[in-house]
């Protein structure tokens, strides 16, 4: 009987060890995947800016220069990039909020403006809280506070927004995307609270500065 009990104990011990090893391997894989994705997005943003600067400056490409990193296929339709330093995220922006757009990055809600420096406009950018991109999406946007900076890089300019506040609304409420005279607004939209996702969280911001592409 003692021998049998010892065998059961040994089996349970090894099962426990294997579960721990498996869990650590999964965590390591997830971390590596998120890090690799972030690196790919940052590289694609750099290439996006270089291409945009050539277009803006109307200078021909010097064929003697070494070839730049090509845009990954999933980012080639990006219209810009959003960066939030406080949350350590960089994401491609696409037109529309279909499943593919929100899988690859974030999207501009239909009926709102593409990010621009023009006044009397409101741009709404939607993104998942979690899911495929893990921490590299809008997972922690509820931590943004008044005065925090959001940078949007377009093909023409860098647009710097300052957060003015946040609000939690019902998922069916589409009345908040209003324009203001002489203001250029950006609203971030995501599900809330995570992972329940019954409502929506809005992060309000206004254009504070326009910079040339760096």
Angle at 133 between CA 127 and CA 135, to 5 degrees: 90
**Cα–Cα dist 196/113, whole Å:** 29
Q: Report d(CA 77, CA 104) in Å as an integer.
A: 10
- Cut 0.85: pTM above it: no
Given the structure tokens 């607004």, which residue do they identify? 185
- What pLDDT is stored for residue 48 in this prediction? 74
Out of 128, 140, 162, 192, which one is annotated catalytic? 128
Q: What is the pLDDT of residues 51-82, one digit of tens each?
A: 765 665 555 444 444 444 455 666 889 999 99
Mean pLDDT per 10-residue section of the chain, whose length is 214 residues: 64 67 53 60 72 58 45 80 95 95 94 97 94 73 98 96 98 94 97 94 98 90
Which pLDDT score, from 0 to 100, does residue 60 have? 47
**pLDDT at residue 7 in the model:** 72
pLDDT computed for residue 177 by the predictor: 96
Burial grade of 147 (CB within 10 A; 0-12, 13-18, 19 or more) = exposed
Structure tokens at 54: 């050539």
Q: What is the CATH number assigned to the segment(s) 1-60+72-213?
A: 2.40.260.10
Annotation marks residue 192 as catalytic: no
**First-to-last C-alpha distance (Å) of the chain:** 75
What are the residue ranges spanned by the domains of the chain?
Answer: 1-60+72-213
Residue in 35, 140, 191, 192 annotated catalytic: 191
**Known active-site residue 191:** yes
Structure tokens at 49: 């800016």
Distances, alpha carbon 39 to alpha carbons 9, 34, 206, 211, in Å: 45, 9, 28, 24
The mean pLDDT of the chain is 82
């Amino acid at each position: 009987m003692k021998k049998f009990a010892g065998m059961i104990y040994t089996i349970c011990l090894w099962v426990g060890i294997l579960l721990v090893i498996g869990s650590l391997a999964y965590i390591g894989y997830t971390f590596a995947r998120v890090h690799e994705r972030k690196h790919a997005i940052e590289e694609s943003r750099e290439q996006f800016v270089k291409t945009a600067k050539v277009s803006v400056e109307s200078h021909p490409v010097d064929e003697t220069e070494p070839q730049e990193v090509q845009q990954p296929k999933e980012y080639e339709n990006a219209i810009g990039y959003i960066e939030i330093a406080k949350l350590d995220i960089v994401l491609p922006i696409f037109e529309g909020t279909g499943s593919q757009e929100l899988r690859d990055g974030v999207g501009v809600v239909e009926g709102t403006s593409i990010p621009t420096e023009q006044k009397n406009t409101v741009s709404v950018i939607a993104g998942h809280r979690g899911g495929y991109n893990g921490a590299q999406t809008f997972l922690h946007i509820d931590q943004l506070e008044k005065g925090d900076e959001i940078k949007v890089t377009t093909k023409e300019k860098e647009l710097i927004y300052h957060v003015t506040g946040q609000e939690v609304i019902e998922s069916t409420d589409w009345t908040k995307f209003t324009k203001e005279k002489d203001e250029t607004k950006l609203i971030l939209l995501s599900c809330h609270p995570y992972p329940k996702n019954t409502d929506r969280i809005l992060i309000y911001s206004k254009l504070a500065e326009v910079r040339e592409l760096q």
